[in-house]
Amino acid sequence: MKDNFFWPGFILLGVALSGIIATVAVAAYQHYEWLTTLALIALLATAAAILWFVVELRRVTLLEQQLRLLGASDHQAGP
């Protein structure tokens, strides 16, 4: 089964990584007016990516359990 629902999580993870890098760069160049904004973006993107992966893994696990139960009931019915 081809499942592409992980990609938004990977994109959010990329945004979070970019936000962390930008936060470090802003702090290095002493532009403190942007520090809070970029840190907040990095934090929210990280939280959203983690939440996306947790929800998606839970969805996939439930689908696999349903397929297992469906397969088990097919074998029990038999010809």
Identify whether the C-beta of residue 41 lies closer than 8 Å to the C-beta of residue 19: yes
Residue with tokens 């929210």: 44
Instruction: Average the pLDDT over 1-13 and give the result.
Output: 88
- Phi first, then psi: what are they for 19, rounded to 5°? -65, -40
Tens-digit pLDDT profile for residues 13-63: 999 999 999 999 999 999 999 999 999 999 999 999 999 999 999 999 999
What pLDDT score was predicted for residue 1?
57
| pLDDT at 79 > cutoff 70 | no
Please tell me the distance from the alpha carbon of residue 57 to that of residue 39, in angstroms, as a whole number: 27
| pLDDT at 73 > cutoff 80 | no
* 46, 52, 12, 67: CA torsion to nearest 10: 140
